[in-house]
A and B are shown apart, each in its own frame.
Chain A
Amino acid sequence: MAWFESLGMALIDVLIAGLMLIVGLFPEALSAPFDYAFMQRALLTSILVGAICGLLSCFVVLKRWSLLGDAISHAVLPGVAIAYLLGWPFFIGAFLAGAVSALGIGALERHTRIKSDAAMGLMFTFAFALGVVIIGKIATNTHLMHILFGNVLGVQYPALMLTLFSGVVALVAVWVFYRSLVLYTFDPMQAQALGFNTSVVHYGLILLLTLTIVASLETVGIILVVAMLITPGATAHLLTDRLTTMMLLSVGTGILSAVLGLYLSFLFDVASGGAIVLVATALFAVALLAAPRHGLVGRWWRRRRGAAAMVP
């Protein structure tokens, strides 16, 4: 495993060096914060998290899975706590907990008369409560705060490597299984009728979602990752009627929010996770107003012009 780790670290160093070249193009006032090594790591992490979340948020928004994303992200908490107790790497516990709760939600939905929103609410509050109780017993409040709200300025190499790894897995999976994922999201009945194994696609997409949440844990935390899984996709959905364009725009807004949020949090000394989500929401607000076809201003303008054209 040692070669794998050193390869990962070398790759990260190369990526950071490349980023610094780009940052160097900006005026001194903008690039100054990135002289610190911790800011360089934070920048790379933010870009990766913004990109992965942006990609997956297209599926979350189109599949109406916002609440499921919320549920999985909360359910990750006891996994982190139990992994800490057992001395495992935290992401293994987080991943298992997310997957188990998603399966539990699916089982409740399918085999009882409980409806899906109640099943999700029930599972994620249970898991979250369990996590809060365990963490209260074993660790300090700072730990809990970092898991809940992220600590991107304190990101070290192992977490950065995990994020990079998750990003590569998510990208490759979406690329290779594009057809299954898109058809399942668009029209599950048709996917079934064409002979796709929809339960495999369903749980595959849930695992990707869990992976994304785990990868974002240290950056924005499990509460605010939900915003990064909804807002970029929602923004992009307002801007285009093409799925591939939507994915690119969503990844773009994800990265832009993460980078701008990080910079502003440094500048004004505010919580970085919160700043990232606020920027993402501001971008959404701009799209909501100014999107060409689906924006409020455009619609108002067309309605006014349409009304004017009616008048003889």
Chain B
Amino acid sequence: MSEVVHQSLPAVEVRHVYAAYDGQAVLEDVHIDLPAGEWTAIIGPNGAGKSTLFRILLGVMKAQRGQVQVLGQEPSAQRRAGVMAYMAQQEAVEWDFPISVRDTVLTGRYGHMRGDAFWRRIVPPRWCDPRHWAVVRQALKAVDMQDYADRPIGALSGGQKKRVLLARALAQEARVLLLDEPLAGVDTASERLIMKVLDGERRSGRTVIMVTHDMDSARRYADKVLLLNRQVVGMGAPERMLVDEMLARTAAAGWVRDHEPLVEAS
């Protein structure tokens, strides 16, 4: 019974959100539920407010108007509670930084380490609780990077970098995964692996929310597609959202609003 109730609760509730930078509106009256335990792909052109929506979901930016809740709580509280894991775009990370693949994934555990014994928290991270290392090993294995654990991150290829970032997000053991362009600039082998890993996460009950430009993988893997361009253009099954008419509406929605959003009941 409780399982059913949990499934019907949305993971993310966005209520009439309005956000702007320097008076320039980026999100206008965005009002949508993202279902829990499902895989949602957010699709929209550059500058459509996808990254802004992510920042609001993570609670690192506040919407000027409207409310957002993640699993029934304020995003910033949920972020501190470790409910969400965030996988950044590749450009956001300093790849020249002198750090190994293994230690990079371990940074995903830094939030959990707040619960460790005091002495563990003030010694260098390599002497952290062994259970963190166990999670790191598992995450590296999941993305097939265990053989690269000692490499400096600067020596990796584009697809490998993405896989390390994904491993770091997995290591957080969060209930909601937020992924910003997980497929940008990766080879097909890495792409297939990343999608397989995310599919496994979804099957084990996690909520996956990804921003992407890749229609093919959205069509193939996502349960729901959210079409976004400053406003919600549509939300529903991929086969009904990723059609020419809806995509044309999405492209135009940055300037005009001549259609009501098409939101399918879940």
Contact = CB atoms under 8 A, between A and B. Distances in A.
Interface residues on chain A, size class: 20 to 34
Nearest to B85: A193
Contacts of A175: 122
Contacts of A182: 107
A12 B114 CA distance: 37
Contacts of B85: 193
Contact of A193 (B60, B103, B121): B60
B192 to A, nearest CB: 26
B257 interface: no
B88 A190 contact: yes
A190 B107 contact: yes
Contacts of B84: 193
A88 interface: no
Contacts of A195: 79-82, 111, 114
B47 interface: no
Interface residues of B, number: 33
A194 B98 contact: no
Interface in B53-95: 58, 60, 79-82, 84-86, 88, 92-94
Chain B contact residues, majority secondary structure: mixed
B93 A187 contact: yes
Contact of A187 (B58, B60, B92, B154): B92
B88 A178 contact: no
A189 B58 CA distance: 10
A237 interface: yes
A305 interface: no
A161 to B, nearest CB: 26
Given A187-B107, A189-B88, A179 B113 contact: yes
A183 B110 contact: yes
B97 interface: yes
B124 interface: yes
A178 B99 CA distance: 14
Contacts of B93: 186-187, 190
Interface stretch (A13-21, A240-248, A253-261): A240-248
Nearest to A192: B60
Contacts of A245: 98
Interface string A180-206: 001101110110111110000000000
A241 B152 contact: yes
A185 B97 CA distance: 9
Contacts of B100: 241-242
Contacts of B108: 194
A243 B153 CA distance: 12
Interface of B: 58, 60, 79-82, 84-86, 88, 92-94, 97-100, 103, 107-108, 110-111, 113-114, 121-122, 124-125, 152, 154-155, 168, 172
Complex A-B, nearest 10 residue pairs according to Cβ-Cβ distance, in ascending order: A241-B152, A195-B80, A194-B111, A193-B86, A243-B98, A241-B98, A192-B60, A186-B97, A176-B122, A246-B98
29 contacts: A62-B98, A175-B122, A178-B124, A179-B121, A182-B107, A183-B107, A186-B93, A186-B97, A187-B94, A187-B107, A189-B86, A190-B107, A192-B79, A193-B58, A193-B60, A193-B86, A194-B111, A194-B172, A195-B79, A195-B82, A195-B114, A241-B99, A241-B100, A242-B98, A242-B100, A243-B97, A243-B99, A245-B98, A246-B98
Interface of A: 62, 175-176, 178-179, 182-183, 185-187, 189-190, 192-196, 237, 240-246
